Amino acid sequence: MPAKKAKIAVLVSGGGTNLQALIDAQSKGIITSGKIALVISNNPSAYALERAKKAGIKTSVVTKKECGSQEAFEDKMKTTLNENGIDIIVLAGFMSILSENFTSAYPKRIINVHPSLIPSFCGKGFYGLRVHEAALEYGVKVTGATVHFVNEIPDGGEIIMQKAVNIRPDDTPESLQKRVMRLAEWKILPLSVEKVSNEIINKK
Ligand code: GAR
């Protein structure tokens, strides 16, 4: 009988390079304790949806606009996640802050990747390229990425893994973003997903 795997849902909004890193880690055997069973996007035109379809993963689009309110949007996502028997929710470039109504339903079951070393350059307003702009503006010499559990405080949950990346004198927000993704995010996100999946299946 094949070993039981944690069922993973990945929530996305854009390009989906972190989703791709998870798909690749699954085919390379870096993720073995979990299986990506669903991708939910809050943006119907996210390229991440194409990546999921190419990999044969079920997709769903849930938008705040269609749902009418934050509460209805979160309730619709909860229904979709519960209908699919999801164990772990991975926020991979998901650009919508989730309220306590959602996060409290999945304690230590939601994980997020953030493109800085938390507690620097995080919280409300710090997302995507803005994080790297802020790091360069401040003049820090080292940045990186953090994977953490998600609770009701934006970027405030328990840290699972971090990886540092040196800043170069000629970095632009774009060059820094690419290097932080390649050297940090695409590595620690799959490793964290494997770690949490493994803990979940061994608890069951
Ligand atoms: C990634 O750099 C991710 O860390 C960041 O958005 C990018 C999404 O890229 N997330 C946040 O800033 C969340 N606060 P992707 O769609 O190619 O994975």
pLDDT in tens, 145-189: 999 999 999 999 999 999 999 999 999 999 999 999 999 999 999
**Looking at residue 105, what is its pLDDT?**
97
Which CATH number belongs to the domain containing residue 176 in this structure? 3.40.50.170
Q: List, chain by chain if needed, residues with CB within 6 Å of any ligand 1 atom.
A: 14-18, 48, 92-93, 113-115, 127-128, 131, 181, 185
Q: Write down the pTM of the prediction.
A: 0.97
- Phi then psi for residue 27, to 5 deg, are -70, -25
Q: How many angstroms does the Cα of residue 51 sit away from the middle of ligand 1?
A: 15
Domain range for 162 is: 6-203
- ∠ CA 123-195-177, rounded to 5°: 40
Each residue's pLDDT tens digit in the chain (204 positions)?
Answer: 667 999 999 999 999 999 999 999 999 999 999 999 999 999 999 999 999 999 999 999 999 999 999 999 999 999 999 999 999 999 999 999 999 999 999 999 999 999 999 999 999 999 999 999 999 999 999 999 999 999 999 999 999 999 999 999 999 999 999 999 999 999 999 999 999 999 999 986
Pocket test for ligand 1, best of 11, 17, 50 (most atoms within 8 A of CB): 17
**Looking at residue 3, what is its pLDDT?**
77
- 168-177: b or e for each residue (b if 16 or more CB lie within 10 Å)? eeebebeebb
State whether residue 90 is helix, strand or coil. Answer: strand
Domain annotation covers residue 1: no
State whether residue 173 is helix, strand or coil. Answer: helix
Those residues whose C-beta lies under 8 Å from the C-beta of residue 154, and which sit 6 or more positions away, are: 97, 122, 123, 124
Burial grade of 152 (CB within 10 A; 0-12, 13-18, 19 or more): middle
Those residues whose C-beta lies under 8 Å from the C-beta of residue 18, and which sit 6 or more positions away, are: 92, 93, 113, 181, 185, 186, 189
* CA quadruple 116, 119, 41, 104: dihedral, nearest 10: 160
Q: How many angstroms does the Cα of residue 128 sit away from the middle of ligand 1?
A: 5
Domain annotation covers residue 182: yes
Domain total of the chain: 1
Q: Which of 54, 43, 56, 45 is nearest to 11 (CA)?
A: 43
Domain annotation covers residue 30: yes
